[in-house]
Amino acid sequence: MEKREIKSSYSVYRLDELTDETKKLIEYAQSKLKDAYAPYSHFRVGAAVLLENGLMLGGSNQENAAYPLCTCGERVVLTYAGAEYPDVEITSLAVAVKNDLKIVLTPASPCGSCRQIIAEYQSKQKAKIKIYLVAEGDEIYAIDSIHDILPLGFDASSL
């Protein structure tokens, strides 16, 4: 038997430690919280991507009375970028969360389905997508590559 280890890490920043560009991206994701359609969970997710051409795109979670059809904020903004700018690299993704019913201090990490979708866009462009996660507390989590939070993931090489 051989045991294989997968190492991963993430960084924790305070806002004043980030570049102006990253701060702007996070603020853009936060500005999208108001557009979330979350009447069922009351959990708002604002997401923003920075493209290599400098453009920022935003999105938010969009829920449905048929719960499984709820679409996550990450997925909305990534598919928007993929549909509207298919040949422009996605440099980074920022995700902000807010619960209308209570204060959430700790950033929320993308759900498993969104991780798979981030992984797809990352492998499509063959360049890492940096991920920034923020809630209402001081800490901002930064993840260098989706592989850090989706170890041993499924991809096209298995097909």
Neighbours of 142 (CB within 10 A): 19
Residues 67-126 interacting with ligand THU (rule: CB under 6 A): 70, 72-74, 110-111, 114
Asked if 47 and 77 touch (Cβ cutoff 8 Å), the reply is: yes
Query: Closest distance between ligand THU and the C-beta of residue 122, in Å?
Result: 16
The pair phi, psi for residue 7, each rounded to 5°, is -95, 140
Active site annotation includes 74 = yes
**Among 2, 74, 84, 89, which one carries the catalytic annotation?**
74
Q: Which is nearer to ligand THU, 50 or 97 (CB)?
A: 97
Give the shortest CB-26-to-ligand THU separation in angstroms.
16
Rounded to a whole number of angstroms, the minimum distance from the CB of residue 73 to ligand THU is 4
Q: Rounded distance, CA 144 to CA 133, Å?
A: 12
Interaction residues for ligand THU, span 34-53 (CB under 6 A): 38, 41, 43, 45
Catalytic residues, by residue number, are: 74
Task: Please report, as ranges, the residues that interact with ligand THU according to CB under 6 A.
Answer: 38, 41, 43, 45, 61, 63, 70, 72-74, 110-111, 114
